[in-house]
Copies of this chain bind each other. A is one copy, B any other.
Amino acid sequence: MKPAIVAALLLCLAIAAPAQQNSLTGKWTATVDFFGLPLYWQMELQQQDDKLTVKFSGDKGEGTTSDGKIHFLAADKVGGSEELNATLVDGKIVGQVIWRDGGDPEHKPYIRNFVAVRTPERPSTPPQTHQFEPTVFRKQFSSLYDPVLTINPGDTLHTTTVDAGGADAKGQQRSLGGNPQTGPFYITSAMPGDTLVVHVVQLKLNRDYAISDDGIVPRGMDDQLAVRMKDAAKPTRWHLDLDKGLASPVDPGPHMKNYSVPVRPMLGCMAVAAPPSSAAPNTGDNGPYGGNMDFNEIVEGATVYLPVAVPGALLYFGDAHALQGDGETTGDALETSMDVTVTVDVIPGKRTPAPRVENATHIMALAYAGSLDDAIKKANANMAAWLSEQYQLTPHELGMLLGTAAEYRISEIADRNAGVVLKISKKRLESLTR
């Protein structure tokens, strides 16, 4: 683990930690140094006198404690185990974990150092509004960047984003292009295993032009359309009439001189930091962490759910579009800078497996994969998990619900992953019995 990261981490964790208690009983978040990368595990301890019962990342075990010494052994379902030898130091549990692989008994166990702090609880301070002016822009959804601001669940954040090419509201180049992001924002009490909730309050255009393309991405062309479009794929400029809320092409061609289309501002990128790894995803990519989702229903009024992978979640957003057709077929939507207002919240202890979005009328399960055919499979799986969690639907019921209520949208064909969204109307959900 890089020392600077650990220090910063412990600092942030410490801020939110509740008053120290004598008993070990409670939830703890352990950070393990795994060959230089932090891994996070949730521990739940129950102390009765000198006996401990424990849940270690879901595995159950037992142990003992005395004089600040702690020892326990937890077992997984496939013959592996985690053994812990540690000490309570200044309210933190510090020690070693020995991990044995049940699948391969001849494998030497991993012995790793860790430190655990009490999992912070949601702060009880009243909601605040933060004004934030970004000065650096990030090109990776990384867990290693320092947070630019710390925000409590319930707080509101007002800030700005540069366009996908790195230009700001004044057209000034502020970053290398490729979806430079505003953030990351550290969300107090958000812990691995939680879900981050981001409600998009307002998306406001702040300049009078957008940049786009006039081609069709390869994933959208068969061989004959490819021949027909072979000379397109050039940058195109759009005028944004901020008063009327209309976009019109600056170089319209003979048949689009009167073409104008209402803007519908959206965020092409919203992400939490991806799980720590030597190679965080670049800001053109997407996955369970969200990222460059290019879903044109992430507009004002939408709420986005993302799986927290590191303490503080580390929220990023950017790549605002004045308007985007489904799939971002041209490779670039109407790329522009934007004023962004969001509120954030945290659902503790429940992790969404992949991005989900909710608005006034629908719940929406997003999925991104190497092909549309793989993405729709994953969108169904994401929604099936959601409906099971929320409504305990059986397979029989799940089939009946999807059969009568599925609405599929293609969110993305422009990036490395293609995206499919499965929407279910809230009207259909209202009549379900929990």
**Residues of A participating in the B interface, judged by any CB pair closer than 8 Å:** 34-37, 78, 101, 103-104, 106-108, 110, 138-140, 142, 166, 171-173, 175-176, 178, 209, 211-216, 218-237, 247, 249-250, 252-261, 277-283, 285, 323-330, 332-334, 369-374, 376-378, 380-381, 384, 391-410, 413, 416-418, 420, 428, 431-434
Closest CB in chain B relative to A178 CB, distance in Å: 8
Question: Whole-angstrom distance between the alpha carbons of A333 and B399 in the complex?
Answer: 11
Contact A400 B212 (CB under 8 A): yes
Chain B residues with Cβ under 8 A from A34's Cβ? 176
Contact A232 B373 (CB under 8 A): no
Question: Whole-angstrom distance between the alpha carbons of A218 and B225 in the complex?
Answer: 11
Contact B223 A400 (CB under 8 A): no
Can you tell how many copies of this chain the complex includes?
4
Contact B258 A431 (CB under 8 A): yes
A223, A257, A377, A397 interface centre (most CB from chain B within 10 Å): A223
Chain B residues with Cβ under 8 A from A420's Cβ? 372, 410
Contact A377 B225 (CB under 8 A): yes
Instruction: Pick the residue among B235, B259, B378, B431 that contacts A431 (CB under 8 A).
Output: B259
Contact B229 A370 (CB under 8 A): no
Contact B140 A381 (CB under 8 A): no
Contact B370 A418 (CB under 8 A): yes
Contact B215 A399 (CB under 8 A): yes
Chain B residues with Cβ under 8 A from A402's Cβ? 216, 220, 325, 329-330
Q: Mostly helix, strand, loop or mixed at chain A's interface? A: loop
Chain B residues with Cβ under 8 A from A373's Cβ? 219, 371-374, 418
Closest CB in chain B relative to A426 CB, distance in Å: 13
Chain B residues with Cβ under 8 A from A253's Cβ? 393-394, 396-397, 400
Chain B residues with Cβ under 8 A from A323's Cβ? 404
Chain B residues with Cβ under 8 A from A228's Cβ? 384, 395
A209, A227, A398 interface centre (most CB from chain B within 10 Å): A398
Given A220-B380, A278-B140, A433-B257, A211 contacting B329 (CB threshold 8 A): no
Given A227-B230, A278-B140, A370-B370, A256 contacting B213 (CB threshold 8 A): no
Chain B residues with Cβ under 8 A from A277's Cβ? 139, 178, 282
Chain B residues with Cβ under 8 A from A107's Cβ? 211, 235, 237
Closest to A211 in B: B104
Chain B residues with Cβ under 8 A from A106's Cβ? 209, 237, 250
Closest CB in chain B relative to A331 CB, distance in Å: 8
Instruction: Pick the residue among B213, B395, B405 that contacts A214 (CB under 8 A).
Output: B395
> Can you offer 15 A-B residue contacts whose CB atoms are under 8 A?
A106-B237, A110-B173, A216-B398, A220-B376, A221-B377, A229-B395, A233-B399, A236-B399, A254-B397, A255-B393, A259-B400, A325-B404, A326-B406, A370-B418, A410-B420
